[in-house]
Amino acid sequence: MKILGIIPARYASSRFPGKPLVDIAGKSMIQRVYEQAKKCTDLTEVIVATDDDRIFDHVTAFGGVAVMTSADHQSGTDRCAEVARAHPQYHVVINIQGDEPYIDPEQITKLASCFATPETQIATLVKKVKTDQELHNPNTPKVIVNKLSEAAYFSRSAIPHIRGEEPQNWLEFYTFFKHIGIYGYRADVLQEITKLPISALEKAESLEQLRWIENGYRIKVAETELETYAVDTPEDLLNLNFL
């Protein structure tokens, strides 16, 4: 099975313009993500997908593989779909977040393993919620996982609601999961989901994966014990433990 790793990277970020090129302990963020992804032996190839010449030139300068994509894409999923159309030899595409400079290759391997089951359409990772801050932070999407290890629902709210208990005590009564934002897709499924119109649930929660669930697609879930450290703002750089 051939698996293509794609790292969507755009320059124009409202909260952190130029984020892929920011220096992190001597290397750019996009270089660190690329090098971590290349360590995963499950990936046949790794490509940076961008709409900016500065990112394209930088990636090729450090020896990486980059392609230019449309500037009109609304999401990284759409950007991945464009690249995948040009590489039909791949069976599975993994969308690797370009703002996690120290992503562990084991997480990519765990996601890739979900596709050993032929029925898997889409896959992602979850991690147990450990703190009240995570649980009640709307910037940390939570996931309900069913008995088939599939995502039943994603929400920015703490789900499920623990009736009759104070929110600060909910972790004592239920095992909550947060979403780790890395996705894998069967190549044909990736093309299908990017043609779907924005759904009501997606609009309500601002989570694109709800569009897929609302349209009947199944999202396989694997649990990871490893933490991820995303850089959304310049302030987040201060929280990184440099390797």
Q: Which residues have C-beta within 8 Å of that of residue 23, sequence separation ≥ 6?
A: none
- 59: amino acid identity, one letter: V
SS3 73: coil
Phi first, then psi: give them for residue 65, nearest 5 degrees. Answer: -105, 125
**Domain chopping of the chain, boundaries:** 3-234
Say what the pLDDT of residue 231 is.
78
Model confidence, pTM = 0.94
Average pLDDT over the chain, rounded to an integer: 94
pLDDT-derived band at 152, boundaries 50, 70, 90: very high
Please give the average per-residue pLDDT across 203-230, as a whole number.
Answer: 95
The hierarchical CATH code for the domain 3-234 is 3.90.550.10
Q: What is the pLDDT of residues 93-136, one digit of tens each?
A: 999 999 999 999 999 999 999 999 999 999 999 999 999 999 99
pLDDT-derived band at 238, boundaries 50, 70, 90: confident
Say what the pLDDT of residue 228 is.
82
Residue that wins the pLDDT comparison between 25 and 7: 7
Q: Residue 18 above 70 pLDDT?
A: yes
Please give the average per-residue pLDDT across 129-155, as a whole number.
Answer: 97
pLDDT-derived band at 232, boundaries 50, 70, 90: confident
pLDDT-derived band at 242, boundaries 50, 70, 90: very low
- 36: amino acid identity, one letter: Q
Alpha-carbon distance of 204 to 225, in angstroms, equals: 29
Q: What is the pLDDT of residues 167-188, one digit of tens each?
A: 999 999 999 999 999 999 999 9
Burial of 149 (0-12, 13-18, 19+ CB in 10 A): middle
Q: What is the pLDDT of residues 27-84, one digit of tens each?
A: 999 999 999 999 999 999 999 999 999 999 999 999 999 999 999 998 999 999 999 9
pLDDT-derived band at 192, boundaries 50, 70, 90: very high
Q: Which stretches of the chain are assigned E, i.e. beta strand?
A: 3-9, 23-24, 27-28, 45-50, 66-68, 92-95, 122-128, 142-145, 151-155, 177-186, 219-223
